[in-house]
Amino acid sequence: TYARTLLRAAKWAETHHAEADVAMATETGVSPADIHTYYTRDIYTKLTPELSVKMLDAVDVLKTFLFDHSFIDNNFSTEEWMAKDLLQEAYRQENIAWRD
């Protein structure tokens, strides 16, 4: 699944920094040499997708901004909107401990 692929890619990036720099540079339109201008040196440990309370709070702030400024028509619960169970299942399949 897509979630499992993201988890595997994050794990790969932790030990393949130069190759990860090239991949991130390609995706963001900068040179690999510039990656550390835009990202902190510990970026390789921050690529694992997660739905922590901190992350959900950040998504909720963004969603509220979009609603308040009429970029989206409907206000909704981000907690209900997130498909947390899909990511939890990918964690289980990849033998990664789930953290809330």
> Within this chain, do residues 6 and 17 fall inside the same structural domain, yes or no?
yes
User: Average pLDDT of the chain?
Assistant: 94
Predicted pLDDT at 52: 86
> Within this chain, do residues 42 and 54 fall inside the same structural domain, yes or no?
no
Give pLDDT tens digits for 24-38: 999 999 999 999 999
> Within this chain, do residues 57 and 99 fall inside the same structural domain, yes or no?
yes
Mean pLDDT, residues 29-54 taken together: 92
Query: How many domains does one find in the chain?
Result: 2
> Within this chain, do residues 62 and 98 fall inside the same structural domain, yes or no?
yes
> Within this chain, do residues 29 and 62 fall inside the same structural domain, yes or no?
no
pLDDT category at 6 given cuts 50, 70, 90 is very high
Predicted pLDDT at 74: 94
Evaluate if residue 1 carries a pLDDT over 90.
Answer: no
- Among 24-33, 48-57, 80-89, name the most confident range: 24-33
**Axis-axis angle for helices 2-15, 17-28 (nearest 10):** 130
- Helices of type H across 16-98: 17-28, 35-38, 53-68, 78-81, 84-93
Evaluate if residue 89 carries a pLDDT over 80.
Answer: yes
Q: Which domain holds residue 61?
A: 50-100
